[in-house]
Amino acid sequence: MTVIRDPIHGYIELCEVALSLIETPRMQRLRRIKQLGLTNFVYPGANHTRFEHSLGTYHLANSLMGGMGDEAGTDDEQMELRVSALLHDIGHGPLSHVTEKIIKLHTGKSHEDVLPILRSDFAEIFEKYSINISRVAKHIKGETGYGAALNSEIDVDRMDYLVRDAHYTGVPLSVDLVRLIHEMQFMDEKLVIRSGGVRAAESLLLSRFLMHPTVYFHHVTRIAESMCVRAIERMIEDGFDARTLSMMDDQELFFKMQTYPGYPSEIRDRLRNRRLFKRALYVGFDSVGEKVLRHRTNTRRIESELASDLGIDPDYILIDIPEPPEIAEIKANIMVDHQLKPLGEISHIVSALGHAQRDNWRMGVYTPAEYRDSVGRAAREFFGVKKHRQFRLDELVG
């Protein structure tokens, strides 16, 4: 048994199987993939990687199995879940979620579709320790009862990344993971939380609610990610094989961008020196209404129309319309008086967060600084942005 020191969980114990998996090139690659992609443009400390997150998830899975006793299944089933926790992110491409949609578009696979990777990179280790590859792959996708510990409304994956992301960005959060894990159990192949864990679950959800606007959807991060995605799209149009993305790490991606002259190499230099596009428009549902979501599949066409009217290259107008906000955790199963109820039904705080999350949503239109005013005016007109009347103080108190 090997013990390593982690800034989040203290000491993490690694068994012989875990050590064998960690020493593979595929796992070591995760050391070179940032957990939060380009968020370090906003929070300089956000340089932690998928590797350390994987170790933390493995640790929490260990804690969960250890606290359940016989409920956690046989020794083989517990080992499968531990291995699944350690390997759950091996399918991520460079910069984590930044490249995920592009990879899925061109391969048909998400980062959770890891069965081919397990067979090609880990088969020998799995055979040595008699670990079932197909079951591990299903656990990672949340397709089994035990897999809910890794992939469900409240799981050890998000427990680790929320606390870890908060730590490295400096966002002050307080989540009692020990209490939450202690109150979790499997029942009829479902992962449930006993009533004693409701407060801990609420704190986890409140933390996620606060992290979304301040970290995960910070406008600077969204701008940098939009620029990077457009550069990759341009590379693909110039002959780059998008299927190779899933094998790259962050630095390999930036090196590849540099080899493509024109827009990709320019964006690489902009990102390298933090010369980012600016917000020409940045508004919520109160300004554009939820009907704006229908434009999510037409952003390239709208960019071209706006650019044509203004005499600008379409690649210098980036429209970012995120998916509608959702807090999946409100559906987590809570055991109350021997009955399963969704967390959102028994917690007024969680129910309110589900509605309040809508207020965090923002759409953005990004462009270089020299085009900001003209692009902003054109975008406001196109999207029909509502003008909010400014009240004078004497009107409010009179």
User: What is the C-alpha separation between 133 and 127, in angstroms, rounded?
Assistant: 9
User: What is the C-alpha separation between 207 and 205, in angstroms, rounded?
Assistant: 5
Q: What percent of the chain has pLDDT over 90?
A: 75
Q: Is 91 exposed, middle or buried (0-12, 13-18, 19+ CB in 10 A)?
A: buried
User: What is the C-alpha separation between 150 and 97, in angstroms, rounded?
Assistant: 18
Q: Collect all residues with Cβ–Cβ distance below 8 Å to 232 and sequence separation of at least 6.
A: 99, 102, 240, 242, 245, 253, 257, 264
What mean pLDDT value characterizes the chain?
92
**Number of separate domains in the chain:** 1
Task: Indicate whether 397 pLDDT > 60.
Answer: no
User: What is the C-alpha separation between 143 and 80, in angstroms, rounded?
Assistant: 14
User: What is the C-alpha separation between 254 and 240, in angstroms, rounded?
Assistant: 13
- Do the Cβ atoms of 263 and 240 come closer than 8 Å? no
- Do the Cβ atoms of 166 and 7 come closer than 8 Å? no
Q: Higher-confidence residue: 365 or 188? A: 365
> Encoding tokens for residue 227?
């620029």
Task: Indicate whether 355 pLDDT > 80.
Answer: no
Task: Indicate whether 70 pLDDT > 70.
Answer: no
Residue 285 covered by a domain:
yes
Residue range 267-278, pLDDT digits in tens: 999 999 999 999
Grade residue 390 by pLDDT with cuts at 50, 70 and 90.
very low
Beta partners for residue 303, in sequence order = none
> What pLDDT is attached to residue 396?
42
End-to-end CA distance of the chain: 72
Q: Is 355 exposed, middle or buried (0-12, 13-18, 19+ CB in 10 A)?
A: exposed
Grade residue 152 by pLDDT with cuts at 50, 70 and 90.
confident
> What pLDDT is attached to residue 351?
79
User: What is the C-alpha separation between 161 and 169, in angstroms, rounded?
Assistant: 12
Residue 141 covered by a domain:
no
Residue 389 covered by a domain:
yes
Task: Indicate whether 333 pLDDT > 90.
Answer: no
Q: How many CA atoms lie within 13 A of 387 on its CB side?
A: 5
Residue 197 covered by a domain:
no
User: What is the C-alpha separation between 94 and 247, in angstroms, rounded?
Assistant: 8
Residue 157 covered by a domain:
no
Task: Indicate whether 260 pLDDT > 70.
Answer: yes
Of 60-64, 226-230, 321-325, the one with minimum mean pLDDT is 321-325
Helices (H) and strands (E) in the chain, counts: 20, 9
Beta partners for residue 13, in sequence order = 3
Among residues 311, 280, 314, which one has the least CA distance to residue 383? 280
Residue 321 covered by a domain:
yes
Helix ranges restricted to H, the chain: 16-22, 25-28, 50-68, 75-87, 100-107, 115-121, 123-128, 133-140, 156-169, 177-182, 198-211, 219-237, 250-258, 263-272, 285-288, 299-310, 343-346, 348-356, 372-383, 393-397
> Encoding tokens for residue 388?
């909010």
Residue 21 covered by a domain:
no
For residues 312-340, give the mean pLDDT: 88
Residue position matching structure tokens 């969960």: 64
Full residue range of the structural domain in which residue 326 is found: 277-331+362-398
> What pLDDT is attached to residue 394?
44
Residue 219 covered by a domain:
no
Radius of gyration of the chain (CA): 23
User: What is the C-alpha separation between 310 and 314, in angstroms, rounded?
Assistant: 10
- Do the Cβ atoms of 151 and 326 come closer than 8 Å? no
